[in-house]
Amino acid sequence: MLYLHDVWVNWFEGEENGYNVCYFHEWRKEDKIELLDQVPLLYITKPLYQYIENDMHDVPKALLDTVYRRAYARKGQMRKCLDYAAVITDGTEIIAIDTAGYSIPIKKSRLIPRQEQLVYDMVQNVKPKSYGFETLDYKKAYHMLSMAPDLVFGLTRRERQLKQLMMMGLDQLRTANRIEELRYWLTEWDPKQYPNIHYMNEEKAWRTLYSSVRQGWSLAHEEFCEKLIKGQPFLEKMWAFEEQKQQASKQQ
């Protein structure tokens, strides 16, 4: 069994997709960084790694049994045993996981660069294990609230969060499926289409709007998102949080 010691982690809880588990250069000053006094290191196959990093399904029991109560977190002078925690790698990517006592990877974190290099060095002469994971029936499903990686590629942490907010607003718009609202927001996004929008039905208006806004991120997307979520307290609170972080980073 390989072990890492004194590992700094920045847990992202309940994140299904690996692109939302931020790399070290996107960690924020106010993030709650924790120290793992000891944590097992597992070199696993690429399909198993992608399954764990990019989903919230059960981790293979054989893997959980291997790491059971072998990890310890430290806070001050206190040392706490973690039921199922590990650092996993496929030889290219690295992620730390903690199931919080369950069988799914509730918490995920990247490592700091120095510890990433240590991982690569430690697994050089080790063969990856599959822990009985079968890929025949597994295929990652992406949808509006769980965007495909190509839709967020190259975006910053803030931009990914705002795009997720926009998708949540669009999801509510789609659920309501009111033609007047769909036409209004399509006109808001692309006024040049106004002469044609009036003749669109719900399906056509929705497909045109979604296909237009789903790619990339720009100031136009940001302004559209802010307008779309207006009047929705939960989404407005999330928007205000990201704005607050943006202002704080400018002042640093």
Residues of the chain above pLDDT 70, percent: 97
Cβ(107)–Cβ(113) under 8 Å? no
- What integer pLDDT is reported at residue 250 of this predicted model? 66
How many other C-beta atoms lie within 10 A of the C-beta of residue 99? 19
Domain assignments of the chain as residue spans, ordered by start: 2-122, 149-251
Decide: helix, strand or coil at residue 186: helix
φ, ψ for residue 221 (rounded to 5)? Answer: -60, -45
pLDDT digits (tens, 9 = 90+) for 184-217: 999 999 999 898 998 999 999 999 999 999 999 9
Which residue matches tokens 């822990």?
A: 131
Model confidence at 112, pLDDT cuts 50, 70, 90, reads very high
Cβ(11)–Cβ(109) under 8 Å? yes
Please give the structure tokens belonging to residue 157: 């942490």
pLDDT digits (tens, 9 = 90+) for 131-185: 999 776 778 889 999 999 999 999 999 999 999 999 999 999 999 999 999 999 9
- What integer pLDDT is reported at residue 115 of this predicted model? 97
This prediction has a pTM of: 0.91
Model confidence at 249, pLDDT cuts 50, 70, 90, reads low
Mean pLDDT over all residues of the chain? 94
- What integer pLDDT is reported at residue 122 of this predicted model? 97
Distances (CA, A) of 80 to 36, 71, 75, 85, 214: 9, 8, 8, 12, 43
Sign of CA dihedral 19, 23, 26, 29: positive
φ, ψ for residue 247 (rounded to 5)? Answer: -65, -40
pLDDT at residue 220 is higher than 90: yes
For range 73-80, the mean pLDDT = 90
